[in-house]
Amino acid sequence: MPIKVGDTAPDFSLPAQNGSTVSLRDFRGQKAVVLYFYPKDDTPGCTAESCAFRDQYEVFKNAGAEVIGVSGDSNESHQRFAAKYNLPFTLLSDKGDQVRKQYGATAAFGLFPGRVTYVIDKQGVVQYVFDSMFNFQGHVEEALKSLQALNK
């Protein structure tokens, strides 16, 4: 079953592009998390989406949220991708797509890993889910709207 609004976001620990391990529980009580699953580093759609998150990163931070991208790519791939596009946020390597499966952000059209964004509040509860393979900018816009509604 996919994770939906009102569910407690499943905890995970994954390696980040900087060599550290990031756990969702590290953010509980501290800040909201915008967790976005994307298919693959350095592809046109994923680059557009990641750069859109980059361009609004300060707005997300000012709204009290951390942005985290997740794909099945290696840490080395994430390092190159982040460096090439100056991505200021964390990219996590989900080899074997275990966390993706846990969240239900699985294959789009049965062919590609899904593109799904979750807005998770400080208490670890999913407040918004946006699932669209082709509306790259929508992931950013909808996540920002959701965070702004939470902060009112």
Which residues, including other chains, have CB under 8 Å from residue 46's CB and lie 6 or more apart? 38, 39, 40, 71, 115
For the question of residue 51 being annotated catalytic, the response is: no
Paired strand residues for 128: 119
CA atoms within 13 A on the CB side of 132: 13
- Distance between CA 141 and CA 116 in Å, rounded? 13
The residue type found at 87 is L
Catalytic-role residue among 46, 87, 119, 140: 46
> Which residues are catalytic, by number?
46
